[in-house]
Amino acid sequence: MSRHPIGDHALLSDRHSAALVTRDGSVEWLCFPRFDSPSVFGALLDDDAGHWSVRPVGPAEVERDYVAGSMVLRTTFHTATGTLELRDGLVLGEVGNPHRLGAHAPHRLVRSMRCTAGRVVVETCLRPRPEYGVVVPVLTGVHGGIRASGGPDRLLLSSPQWHTVHDGEAHACFALEAGQSTHFALQRVALGGPDPRPLGQREIADALADTIAGWRAWSALHQRYEGPWRSLVHHSGRVLQALSYQPTGAIVAAPTTSLPERVDGARNWDYRYSWVRDASFTMRALWVAACPDEAYEFFGFMTAAAAHTRPQHPLQIMFGIGGEHDLSERVLEHLSGWCDSRPVRVGNGAWIQPQLDVYGELLDAAFRLRAQLGELAPQTRTFLAGLADAAAGQWHRPDNGIWEIRGEPRHFLYSKLMCWVALDRAAAMADQLRAADRAPAWRASAEEIAEAVLTRGFNAEVGAFTQSFGSAELDASALMLPIVGFLPGTDGRVLATVDKIAERLTDERGLVYRYRADSGVDGLAGGEGAFVLCTFWLAHALALAGRTERAREVFDRAAGLVNDVGLLAEEIDPVSGAQLGNFPQAFSHIGLVNAAWAIHRAESGHRGNPAG
């Protein structure tokens, strides 16, 4: 099992795949060539699943940050004899057009180190274990590096340092004096492809410099938010961009699998796929944090991925990042899991669930981004208008809801709310969709849903909107009622719901749970941590209610959970305060961006819903 807390990791991305690096310089997660590919390094989930460590010999104090405006990690080790700066990055390749960041990524991980003071002895251990640790490759020393063969991939480590090779591991130990540097690059090619050639030191250093320049060019072109918490919002925008898959425009919910929502619990899921909901939320957050000129790529992906969805069935809630539909779930029995939290799953069984809220999320994102989308392609118009028709025809059905309850379908309030959003936004976009003749019917259905939400969703005995029709359970998703503009933030029923959630759904730190999982309402055993996104939702709802001072307090509480490099997991342990769940989590960074913007608007005198 990994000995590193989840929050001790930092993210690298080339917009194809991701790596996680620990504070002490170990790459413990890397999937090539896609986010959802089997891992090459998987020590995050089992000690025997591979890693690549670079660190000074002996004790060191560690500082970390990202090189300004980029997703290249800088780790500084202060030892008794000197200082070592390590820069890690997944190479972007040629970046001619920042809108196509990562289009030419060569699937290469670069680790560049420089002694900035004194003298430092460095040790490195390369231990690749492809196929989630199943394959122990044969490592062979070659001129200019180490070759690893075994399984469907071949790896080449380019290095000027001499390594010893034994039992599937390569070790090196060397000294650097002040001003000296050395650069490593690990590249991957598929079996049957041309042999990769060892790279020279200048070539590796230039590739990393070009990667920094590429991220900075993207940031300069896109990031224009100037409100409070500007640096956090901009960084979250880069994180969300890092979680997007460049070849298709898909967006992953997180780059990891099976990091648990509670240690020793069974709530361990694979998040390396593109949820319609999460991706739509991401596009709306990028509208704030990064002006997403690439919005058409996402809607092009969704239109293509869902093209074969049967019209009489609900829209599939998630797809593979290449548009795949079948995401069948299986357990990797040979992996022990992070902190022995089994099972380790790949695939996600939720792909077959009906979740009616996805219609609203997609159409709300399209409405928010209508200026960027401009003239819609005929197939996109047909797709979006069809979503509104599906919402009108299916809203009355039970489903599994936003939290993917693995139990009997219910009439979840949030699902009804988002069907209303779908119809409200479609009617507002009817001309752009070239469907003005359908707008009256969409508005009529929206009014019908609104009546049901108001009469059946509010529980007078509880004094709040509740999780599902007829339920007494609170659910943080009710905070979305004012956020999507269904009711004003100052409405008495909304204020009562906000107060009830703040009172009954928060832990001792004031962090918000999704719902009370220990009540058994979701059909799973055990509890979970407080949900970071829901805490940001509370701050957002408070801002819309005009309670800006309280909103800032809640926002600062949630934003204060970021690790030393500004990353957030999905949940927070109620006892230790440690980060839990897949990491970093798009939902959490989405919540940060949108809540910051809502507070900024409220303090600037905008009290209404900012959906447009």
> In this predicted structure, what is the pLDDT of residue 406?
74
**pLDDT interval class at 310 (50, 70, 90):** low
Q: Mean pLDDT, to the nearest integer, of 205-224?
A: 95
Strands 51-56 and 108-127: antiparallel
Question: Do 157 and 170 touch, CB atoms closer than 8 A?
Answer: yes
Instruction: Tell me which of 244-248, 416-420, 520-524 is least confident.
Output: 520-524
Q: Is the pLDDT of residue 611 over 50?
A: no
Nearest partner of 153 among 107, 104, 91, judged by Cα: 107
Residue-wise pLDDT for 67-98, tens only, equals 999 999 999 999 999 999 999 999 999 998 89
**pLDDT interval class at 1 (50, 70, 90):** low
Q: Is the pLDDT of residue 444 over 90?
A: yes
> In this predicted structure, what is the pLDDT of residue 610?
47
> In this predicted structure, what is the pLDDT of residue 539?
98
Instruction: Give me the percent of the chain exceeding a pLDDT of 90.
Output: 79
**pLDDT interval class at 153 (50, 70, 90):** confident
C-alpha 225/C-alpha 183 separation (Å) is: 36
DSSP state of 349: G
**pLDDT interval class at 612 (50, 70, 90):** very low
Burial of 555 from C-beta contacts in 10 A (0-12 / 13-18 / 19+): buried
**pLDDT interval class at 196 (50, 70, 90):** confident
C-alpha 182/C-alpha 173 separation (Å) is: 12
DSSP E strands, 467-550: 530-531
> In this predicted structure, what is the pLDDT of residue 241?
94
Nearest partner of 442 among 361, 358, 363, 356, judged by Cα: 363
Give the chain's end-to-end CA distance (angstroms, integer): 46
What string of DSSP letters covers 104-162?
A: T---EEEEEEEEEEEEEEEEEEEE--TTTTT--PEEEEETTEEEEEETTEEEEEE-SS-
Residue-wise pLDDT for 329-362, tens only, equals 999 999 999 999 999 999 999 898 888 999 999 9
Residue matched to tokens 């609203």:
360
Instruction: Tell me which of 214-218, 354-358, 388-392 is least confident.
Output: 354-358
Provide the whole-model pTM. 0.95
Q: How far is CA 100 from the centre of its chain?
A: 19
What string of DSSP letters covers 526-577?
A: S---EEHHHHHHHHHHHHHTT-HHHHHHHHHHHHTT--TTS---SEE-TTT-
C-alpha 331/C-alpha 334 separation (Å) is: 9
> In this predicted structure, what is the pLDDT of residue 488?
97
> Which neighbouring-strand residues pair with 251?
244
C-alpha 489/C-alpha 439 separation (Å) is: 27
Q: Is the pLDDT of residue 411 over 50?
A: yes
Nearest partner of 333 among 45, 40, 16, judged by Cα: 45
C-alpha 406/C-alpha 156 separation (Å) is: 43
Residue-wise pLDDT for 490-524, tens only, equals 999 999 999 999 999 999 899 999 998 665 555 55
Joined tokens for residue 373: 């989308």
Instruction: Give me the percent of the chain exceeding a pLDDT of 70.
Output: 96
What string of DSSP letters covers 395-441?
A: TTS-B-TTTT-SSS-B-BHHHHHHHHHHHHHHHHTTTTTT-GGGHHH
Q: Is the pLDDT of residue 301 over 90?
A: no
Residue matched to tokens 């300069």:
220
C-alpha 568/C-alpha 239 separation (Å) is: 10
C-alpha 609/C-alpha 612 separation (Å) is: 8
At 580 the three-state DSSP class reads strand
Joined tokens for residue 299: 């809607």
Whole-number Cα distances in Å, 221 to 55, 104, 563: 35, 19, 27
C-alpha 214/C-alpha 469 separation (Å) is: 49
C-alpha 300/C-alpha 366 separation (Å) is: 12
Residue-wise pLDDT for 540-591, tens only, equals 999 999 999 999 999 999 999 999 999 999 999 988 899 999 999 999 999 9
Q: Is the pLDDT of residue 306 over 50?
A: yes
Whole-number Cα distances in Å, 583 to 79, 243, 487: 29, 11, 33
Joined tokens for residue 586: 């798009």
At 603 the three-state DSSP class reads helix
> Which neighbouring-strand residues pair with 186?
109, 157
Of 81 and 605, which is predicted with more confidence? 81
DSSP E strands, 430-507: 458-459, 464-465
Nearest partner of 587 among 457, 442, 403, judged by Cα: 403
Q: Tell me the three-class secondary structure of 295-340, residue by residue.
A: HHHHHHHHHHHCCCCCCCCCCCCEECCCCCCCCCCEECCCCCCHHH
